[in-house]
Copies of this chain bind each other. A is one copy, B any other.
Amino acid sequence: MTQTLETPLSKVKRGPNRASHDKDLALDIIDAALMCHVGQTKDGQVFVTPTSHWREGDYFYWHAHSKARNVKGPIDKPEKVCINISLLDGLVLARSAMHHSVNYRSVTLFGVPELVDDKEEKVRQFKLFLDKVSPGRWEELRPVNESEIKATGVVRIKIEEASVKFRAEPPIDDAADIDWPVWAGVVPLERHWGAPQTDPIQQQNFAPAKPPKAF
């Protein structure tokens, strides 16, 4: 156990045997995923938006158009958002319907977003994001310009209030069901990056970009 991210809000109440509040474990899952789901409210209505995220140290970042709901909303009207990052790892097929499950890794983060407004810091964060998506690519791109920096909103929350849930094991059946005549086990979900599809309008030959380690 490294630092704990447990607070009254982030403490897991149900299924504590599959829960953790360990910071290093949370950071590993955050880094292993490309996408998260940002939950926020507007006029009392909840909204959930999928988006890409990245991390630097203790901060979790995402971006969108400067005027998009998931960056502008919680800044205009500060609120503690809830962000879930989850990766499905496999199907757990048991001998009874009840004990079917999934193997997965999941982090639920809480925090009040803050806007990253400084121009140079924004560009530095764009690079960190690109470094996650395709290592080494940033240096090869047409440099960002003023209007792009302005049009892109970057927000972050400090990773200090979060929970982790995960499952990574065979089915756990009732003892009485062990000899029930049906196959039981795990079917793993495998992800990989397929063959790069070059932009059809590209004329020259270049080496394709490196894919990320995250999925």
Check B180 against A142 for contact (C-beta < 8 Å): yes
Cβ-defined partner of A183 (8 Å) among B81, B93, B202? B202
**Cβ contact within 8 Å between A97 and B148:** yes
| Residue tally, chain A, CB below 8 Å to B | 93
- Copies of this chain held together in the complex: 2
Residue pair B45, A93 in contact (C-beta under 8 Å): no
A133 beta carbon closer than 8 Å to chain B: yes
Q: Which of A71-120 contact B (CB under 8 A)?
A: 79-84, 86, 88, 90-91, 93-98, 100, 102, 104, 106, 108, 110
A residues with CB within 8 A of B: 9, 14, 34-35, 37-41, 44-50, 52, 65, 67-69, 79-84, 86, 88, 90-91, 93-98, 100, 102, 104, 106, 108, 110, 126, 130, 133-134, 137-138, 140-142, 144, 148, 151-152, 170-171, 177-204, 206-209, 211-212, 215
For the complex with contacts A39-B48, A141-B180, A186-B196, 19 further pairs of A-B residues with Cβ separation under 8 Å are A37-B37, A37-B39, A37-B48, A39-B46, A41-B44, A41-B46, A46-B80, A46-B81, A48-B108, A91-B134, A94-B141, A97-B138, A97-B144, A98-B148, A100-B133, A178-B201, A183-B198, A184-B198, A185-B197
